[in-house]
Every structure is written in structure tokens, then in C-alpha cells.
DNA sequence: TTTGTCACTTGCAATTAGCAAGTGAGTGGA
DNA sequence: TCCACTCACTTGCTAATTGCAAGTGACAAA
């Protein structure tokens, strides 16, 4: 088992919370991860999610996630080469975070739609 | 028990994950909440945390958290009036999210310092 | 009177986000 | 062959947010 989630990004401190936020603490990243948990793998699928992520941000976040080791891409066709994006083990292990968020929202945000319990989907 | 975490903020969707991110999904908010979990209550204490939050952002986030019902402020002195900030029940119930983040980081980010298990501190 | 603390505000530059439009490789159809 | 269309991006440009430094006002202590 490789332990990572590394690199390029500057660390504000060594605190577990701060480090995690440096990786996934923004408006969009966790939504992409949510989509992956629920079976989406392709650029277009992420783009089509109802929140409407801008394409430049989607591209940027997929690369950050890849270089952090949370997501891996592999070609699903050639001519032209197209990639699908899937959670790595480190990425999948974010499941409990997602789950606790969904639970919290279900309790404290009125009228929220909770996705049907996190399913750990990895190989289509 | 009041259920809230409402208001002013625009909602991108009704998804539990998206709604929660609209509330606490940025670089700083969860660090303030972390600090509160570990006993900090005053502006200066948050400001002194090692990540070095800018003061305008701290003020802004405290207000957002207050208006979302996650934090309540009360005066701890007069002349001049100074307030302390504490988690409400809704705020305290973010504990499991914080905990799952700390656990994940402990597993997947090397060299991370995990704060000693989340203690639910409310009244000094 | 001066110095210092606390909890902010304000100003402004730098970074990031967000929208629209464009691009290039390919497919399918007339 | 030409045209339209898809997918996965890029690019350009504006708007919004961040982050740093400095300033402010109420007060206490020296």
C-alpha cells in the first residue's frame, strides 16, 4: 500500500486538517470526488453535473487530484485518445469523509438531497 | 432543537455535499472550527494559529459561521465589548467530519500531525 | 502622555474563478 | 468532399476573492 497525497502544493502547517484542506478544501474538488464515488468517470460526465463546474477548473482539478495520487487516469479509447478518471485507493478512502458530510447535511441543512449512501465504485 | 445552517449564501444544488461545501468548503472555515473544537474562543486565538489566517478573512468567516448558525458569539467583557465565539449544537455536530478528515490524513498524508482526537468543548 | 492590546477596517495588489468562444482529433451522414 | 457534431480540452478576458500591510477606536497600564 502506497501512502501519498503529496507534492506540488504548499503546506500551511503540518496539521492534519490543514493538510487535507490544502488538497481537497475548495469549492469543487470534493464534488468531482463525489461524482467518482457515484460512478462517473469521464470529463463530460463531471461537466454535466448539475452544479456546472467550469471546464478550465475541471481540467485543473483533475490534474491536481492525479498528481496528489487520489485519482488515476487511463485511456478508454484511442483515435483520439480519451481518458477515464477513477479514484485510487487513497481516493476511495475519502469515503468516510464524504459520508460524514452527507450525514451532517441530512441533519442540519433543511431540504437537502442526500445521494443514496456512498458506494465504493472502482471498476465500472 | 433548531435545525439550520441557512441563508444568505447561494446554493449551487440541493446535493448534501454541495450544500455543505457552500457553507464550510473553503481554505479557512474548517480551521476555525477545528480551533473551536480544541478550546479556542477568541479572535486573537484564531488569529494566532500557525496557519496565519488574514484578519479580514477571519472576521468574514466568523460572521458567515454565525449567520449560518454554526457559531454563536457572546460578550466576555464590556468596555470595550469583546465577544467570544463558540460552536452551537449544529457546529459541534461537525465533529465527525473533522474526525474523518484527521483519520484520513493520518493514513494518507505522510508526516502529518494529528490533533489529539476531537474533544467536544463548548463551555470553557 | 505614551505605549500597548484587542478586534476589527480599509486599501490595494495578486491570485483565482467563471464565462464564452475557440481548437483539434475524430465520427457519421449527404 | 463537405458539413455538422462530439469530446476534451485551451485561451482570453472580466469579475470576484484572497492576502498583506497599515490604520482605527476603545480602553488599560506605566
Contact B20 A109 (CB under 8 A): yes
- Residue B87's pLDDT is 98
- Residue A9's pLDDT is 61
Q: Which of B13, B25, B34 sits opposite A50 (nearest CB)?
A: B13
Report DSSP letters for B23-83, one per residue.
HH-SSSHHHHHHHHHTT--SHHHHHTSTT---HHHHHHHHHHHHHTTSEEEEEEETTTTEE
Minimum CA–C1' distance nucleotide for A48: D7
**Angle between helices A29-37 and A16-24 in degrees, nearest 10:** 80
In whole angstroms, what is the distance from residue B63 CA to residue A16 CA? 25
- Residue B114's pLDDT is 86
In chain A, which among 5-44 make CB contacts under 8 A with chain B? Answer: 5-6, 12-23, 25-27, 30-31, 34
Q: Which residue of B has its CA nearest to A26?
A: B26
Q: What is the DSSP letter of A57?
A: H
pLDDT for A21-35, tens place per residue? 999 999 999 999 999
Between B78 and A4, whose confidence is greater? Answer: B78
In whole angstroms, what is the distance from residue A79 CA to residue A81 CA? 5
Q: Counting beta carbons within 10 angstroms of the beta carbon of residue A15, is it exposed (0 to 12), middle (13 to 18) or buried (19 or more)?
A: buried
Provide the CA B63 to C1' C15 distance, Å, integer: 24
Kindly give, in sequence order, each residue whose CB lies less than 8 Å from that of residue A50, ignoring residues fewer than 6 positions away.
B12, B13, B15
Cell numbers representing residue A12 in the block: 500551511
Question: Average model confidence (pLDDT) for chain A?
Answer: 89
Span B46-52, average pLDDT? 97
pLDDT for B79-120, tens place per residue? 899 999 999 999 999 999 999 999 999 999 999 998 875 444
Contact B90 A108 (CB under 8 A): yes
What structural domains does chain B harbor? Answer: 16-108 (1.10.10.10)
Amino acid at each position: 500500500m502506497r501512502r501519498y497525497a503529496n507534492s506540488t502544493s504548499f503546506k500551511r502547517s503540518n496539521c492534519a486538517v490543514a493538510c487535507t484542506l490544502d488538497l481537497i478544501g475548495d469549492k469543487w474538488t470534493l464534488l468531482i470526488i463525489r461524482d467518482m464515488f457515484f460512478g462517473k468517470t469521464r470529463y463530460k460526465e463531471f461537466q454535466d453535473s448539475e452544479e456546472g463546474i467550469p471546464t478550465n477548473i475541471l481540467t485543473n482539478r483533475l490534474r491536481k487530484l492525479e498528481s496528489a495520487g487520489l485519482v488515476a487516469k487511463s485511456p478508454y479509447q484511442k483515435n483520439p485518445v480519451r481518458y477515464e478518471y477513477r479514484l485510487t485507493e487513497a481516493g476511495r478512502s475519502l469515503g468516510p469523509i464524504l459520508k460524514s458530510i452527507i450525514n451532517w447535511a441530512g441533519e442540519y441543512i433543511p431540504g437537502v438531497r442526500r445521494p443514496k449512501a456512498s458506494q465504493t465504485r472502482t471498476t465500472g
